[in-house]
Amino acid sequence: MSTPTTAARTPLRVRPVLMYHSISASTAPDPHRLRVHPDRLDRHLRRLRRLGLRGVGLTELLRAQERGEAGRLVALTFDDGYTDFLEHAAPLLQRHGMTATLYVVAGRMDGANDWDSGPRLPIMGADQVRAVAAAGHEVGSHTMTHARLAGADPATLTAEVTGSRRVLQDVLQAEVAGFCYPYGAYDTAAADAVAAAGYDNGCVIGDYSPGDRFTVPRCYVSPQDTAAHLVARMARHQLLQRGR
């Protein structure tokens, strides 16, 4: 069976998809504004619950949506695979009866965020990635090296997209369905590579141009977002999707 091209794939609108990175009480500099305090995440999850909403991984959200059962779901996603997900996010998610997708930079396991100029944050090793899956969360790919895929040549796309899926599937001994574009940077060739590699879906950041399940838009959650900000971001997401 051939892989459908972008033009042949089905346009898709989804429920809100929230994007987090590091969850930590650290007070080190955070120049890229990627760190949310655990107490703040707790307040966000509590507010979702009070609104009758439940957080799940993105693949679960898309599957529920196909069955017409996603009305009270939002997707929670955490990028890069930082060890603080297990320390802080996973216990909070468990307490609130929620799950999430963790997107791991597969070639940096047991390493750090060396692609970025900010403070070094440790990335999980294979055992920790398996522990995340065992706790009921989805593990998705965030490439091998956190490469910018827009404009990448075919060999780079294969190494980063197909290669990272293979690595994570080896670690998990299970299918990896979700993909996340570093920096949200993608183009048609990158989205086609994600589909061809066998992923079920791919997500970007705040880009609401028409797209399908391989370019699902997400809302950035800032370190300063109160629960009220989060609700406003979700409302904006629903509004912007109408143009998709």
Nearest to 141 by CA among 111, 110, 99, 169: 169
Size of the site for Zn ion (CB under 5 A): 3
**Residue closest to Zn ion when measured from CB atoms:** 79
As measured in angstroms, the least distance from the Cβ of 11 to Zn ion is 26
As measured in angstroms, the least distance from the Cβ of 34 to Zn ion is 8
Interacting residues with Zn ion between 95 and 134 (CB under 5 A): none
Interacting residues with Zn ion between 180 and 219 (CB under 5 A): 182
Would you say 182 or 211 has its CB closer to Zn ion? Answer: 182
As measured in angstroms, the least distance from the Cβ of 5 to Zn ion is 27
In whole angstroms, give the CA distance from residue 119 to residue 34.
11
Query: Which member of 79, 84, 138, 212 binds Zn ion (CB under 5 A)?
Result: 79
Q: Which residue has the tokens 């790919």?
A: 141
As measured in angstroms, the least distance from the Cβ of 152 to Zn ion is 15
Most distant CA pair in the chain: distance in Å? Answer: 51
Task: Give the contacts of 18 (CB within 8 A, at least 6 positions apart).
Answer: 44, 55, 74, 75, 76, 77, 218, 219, 221, 230, 233, 234
Nearest to 212 by CA among 74, 81, 65, 101: 65
Query: Which member of 80, 84, 200, 225 binds Zn ion (CB under 5 A)?
Result: 80
Interacting residues with Zn ion between 156 and 185 (CB under 5 A): 182
- The answer to whether 113 and 152 have CB atoms below 8 angstroms apart is no
Binding site for Zn ion (CB under 5 A): 79-80, 182
